[in-house]
Amino acid sequence: MAREYDTFVDNPDGFEAGEIDVAVRELTPDDRRKKYLTRYVRAKVAPSEEELPGSDILWLRWQRGRVFPRPWRIQVIRELGEFMPKKAVVRNQ
Amino acid sequence: MALLDNRQFTKALKQTGDLVEVNREVDWDCEIGAIVRRACEMEGPATLFNSIRDYPGHRIFGGPVSTLRRAAVAMGIQPTASTKEIFDQFYQRMQNPIPPVLVAEAPCQENVVVGDAVDLTMFPAPMVHDGDGGRYLCTWHFVVTKDPETGWVNWGMYRVMVHNERHMGGIILATSDAGKMKLKYERMGKPMPFAIAIGPEPVCAISAAVPLPANIDEVDVAGGLAQEPVRLVRCKTVDLEVPANSEIVLEGEILHDVEVEEGPFGEYTGYRSGPRAPRAVYRVNCITWRNNPITVISNMGMPVDEGQICYGTLGVGSGVRQALEAAGIPITGVFVPPYGAGNLIIVGTRKPYNHIATQISQIVFGSRAGMPANFLIVVDDTTDVYNIGKVLHALATKCHWRDGVMTFPAWGNPLAPFLSLRERATGRGGRIVLDCTWPVEWDPEAEKPVKSSFADIYPKELQEKVLRDWHVYGFE
Ligand SMILES: Cc1cc2nc3c(=O)[nH]c(=O)nc-3n(C[C@H](O)[C@H](O)[C@H](O)COP(=O)(O)O)c2cc1C
Ligand SMILES: [Mn+2]
């Protein structure tokens, strides 16, 4: 069975197929206590399984949490680690 | 009175009718959050969940201080006391701090794991709201950090989310005391050691949510609130101390060269309005906990919850009152109503000169506690600030459409729901002042409207007769 992940994006409607670096949350781990843990990965993403055979499910969420009704597909190519390098921008948050 | 720890607090709440125990198994994944949220919106009781899916032996305590009644119980005050009485007691006690004592042995260290054995998923951190950025282990807790230059120790309640087994992500605003310390560690190129006490004595959590002036020790204020010193124990792996009876203690360091995505999360304004964003990384090197630990959660969102009660009403309210008193303003009351979500401040004042509302606004919004708020309503000494109906009436009848309304640009609170995303990201916001006082020069007889109320419009002798004979007329 396909595993399920989700990720938060600015605009699910404008999400584009291709190869991306993305933070994914585990939604269907073997040990349920690990649900929602996050990894950074390089992955291929596509809007349908036909375009990415054997892939897993990727739910998209807006940055403020609402889930986009139509799931995408994802195929993890490699792990990028636990964190993101810090970007040098000033943020009011 | 005795200082209550988390467990004694749940028992006291049960006795006052402010706690429901749930024995049926419930799910940490949103179900507990939904129950606590509904209870908050009903201004209902706190909840103790005795059986948690996937987590045998664990319990969760939800909504510890989401009403003023429960804040009263935490301080050993009669829960039936009025809002004014509870707030006045809180205010008086917080200004009479009591330093802590150090103990050698502590329940919070009955169990210890360090290093690679650390696994944050061993505790039932709840998914508080559907669509949150992750599981929040830290929502009724505080983060302990030490200033690397002065050695001063701060306690602040800043939410923290589980990222993976060893790491968490959290908001540490530059305006917070920990945020200022973090900048110093960053400049020194050193990670910032931290300890987090989850489910501490409730007065400690309340104190950590109050925006106290820098260099005031939250632990002393907590002692003042309980009128008894807090007992602290040294941490196992960092040079910091935590309350001995905390349920769970996390020890570690905050890293500077990396970030994790954190949020979104329901906020004290009543919305999930701050987007997911890269935020500070907490690396956990050691966890200690009490036997049969009770994870404690606050569910922030629409009033009323800990965000509005502990941060807003008690925290912002007391800080603003201190600032106005220090400036010598002849105030007659300060109230941050729970439904104002920490964002709306009501000040009552005598009015010796015009534009005292302007002066009050400069002090309120210039103070540490008042800076993040957006609305200020100024009423005169004839309006009871705790009576929202009367405040609304003053606003509707005494606020001049032009001269009574003042707005000016100011720092934009990133969580202000009415600001655009761009305004929030760049910190561009503003403040609104509503002056509901009559101009000083209005002649009391010729111009100032006569209040058509029982106490103002009848001769004293008649008032006394009516009061004396009230039941004779047939009233209860
Ligand atoms: C339940 C709860 C959660 C809070 N979460 C945060 C948070 O994530 N970030 C923050 O800056 N303040 C948060 N606050 C408000 C702070 O606790 C408050 O501003 C406090 O003064 C911070 O401590 P400090 O004054 O020592 O910096 C929260 C308050 C409550 C009651
Ligand atoms: Mn502080």
* pLDDT one digit per residue (tens) for chain B, 476 residues: 579 999 999 999 999 999 999 999 999 999 999 999 999 999 999 999 999 999 999 999 999 999 999 999 999 999 999 999 999 999 999 999 999 999 999 999 999 999 999 999 999 999 999 999 999 999 999 999 999 999 999 999 999 999 999 999 999 988 899 999 999 999 999 999 999 999 999 999 999 999 998 889 999 999 999 999 999 999 999 999 999 999 999 999 999 999 999 999 999 999 999 899 999 999 999 999 999 999 999 999 999 999 999 999 999 999 999 999 999 999 999 999 999 999 999 999 999 999 999 999 999 999 999 999 999 999 999 999 999 999 999 999 999 999 999 999 999 999 999 999 899 989 999 999 999 999 999 999 999 999 999 999 999 999 999 999 999 999 98
CA of B391 to the centre of ligand 2 (A): 31
Token code pair at residue A8: 């938060």
Predicted TM-score (pTM) of the model is: 0.97
Residues of A in contact with B425 (CB under 8 A): 91-93
Domain assignment present for B391: yes
The reply to whether B274 and B342 lie within a common domain is no
CA B459 to each of CA A54, B14, B124, B381, B452: distance values in angstroms, whole numbers, following the listed order: 88, 50, 65, 21, 12
B77 and B150 assigned to the same domain = yes
Residue B286 forms part of a structural domain: yes
Looking at beta carbons, which residues of chain A come within 8 Å of B258? 83-86
Q: ipTM of the predicted structure?
A: 0.95
Residues B120 and B250 in one domain: yes
Q: Does B26 lie in the same domain as B124?
A: yes
| Residue B263 CB–ligand 1 contact under 6 Å | no
Same domain, B293 and B331: no
B109 in a structural domain: yes
Q: Is the pLDDT of residue A93 over 60?
A: no
The reply to whether B182 and B286 lie within a common domain is yes
Q: How far from B289 is each of B58, B118, B292, CA to CA, in Å?
A: 11, 12, 8
Domain membership flag for residue B307: no
Tokens representing B163 are 């990222």
What angle separates helix B356-366 from helix B317-326, to the nearest 10 degrees? 120
Report CB contact under 8 Å: A87, B259.
Answer: yes
Reduce the DSSP state of residue B371 to 3 states and report it. Answer: coil
* Burial class (CB within 10 angstroms; exposed 0-12, middle 13-18, buried 19+) of A6: buried
Domain CATH number, residue B396? 3.40.1670.10
CA R_g for chain A: 14
> Which of B251, B262, B267, B306 does the annotation list as catalytic?
B267
Range of the domain at B114: 6-297
Query: Looking at the structure, do residues B289 and B335 belong to the same domain, yes or no?
Result: no
Indicate whether B468 belongs to any domain. Answer: no
Q: Report which bound ligand comes closest to the CA of B179.
A: 1
Residues B234/B163, Cβ–Cβ less than 8 Å: no
If asked whether residues B134 and B264 sit together in one domain, one would say: yes
Per-residue confidence at A74, pLDDT binned at 50, 70, 90?
very high
Question: Nearest residue CA, atom 16 of ligand 1?
Answer: B209
Best mutation target among B121, B135, B158, B424 (most A Cβ atoms within 10 Å) is: B121
Using CB atoms within 10 Å of the CB of residue B82, give its burial: 0 to 12 exposed, 13 to 18 middle, 19+ buried.
Answer: exposed
The preferred substitution site among B129, B155, B157 for testing ligand 1, maximizing ligand atoms within 8 Å of CB, is B157
**B131 and B32 in a common domain:** yes
The b-or-e profile of B179-188 (16+ CB within 10 A means b, else e) is bbbbeebeee
- Report which bound ligand comes closest to the CA of B318: 1
Does B205 reside within a domain? yes
In a domain, B321, yes or no: no
Residues B239 and B123 occupy one common structural domain: yes
Angstroms from A65 CA to nearest CA on chain B? 4
Is pLDDT above 90 for A89?
no
Of the candidates B277, B297, B317, which is a domain's last residue?
Answer: B297
**Residue that terminates a domain, selected from B297, B319, B335:** B297
- Indicate if B267 belongs to the active site: yes
Atom of ligand 1 nearest to the CA of B309: 31
Q: In this structure, what DSSP letter does residue B229 have?
A: P
Counted domains in chain B: 2
Domain match, B16 and B122 both:
yes
Q: Which of residues 93-152 of B touch A (CB under 8 A)?
A: 121-122, 127, 129-135
Residues of A in contact with B130 (CB under 8 A): 65
Q: Tell me, yes or no, whether B474 lies in a domain.
A: no
Is pLDDT of A88 > 90? no
Inspect the interface and report whether the beta carbons of A8 and B427 lie closer than 8 Å. Answer: no
Q: Which of B132, B163, B427 sits opposite A38 (nearest CB)?
A: B163
Considering the domain architecture, whether residues B130 and B85 belong to the same structural domain is answered as yes
Atom of ligand 1 nearest to the CA of B139: 1
Q: What is the CATH number of the domain that holds B112?
A: 2.30.110.10
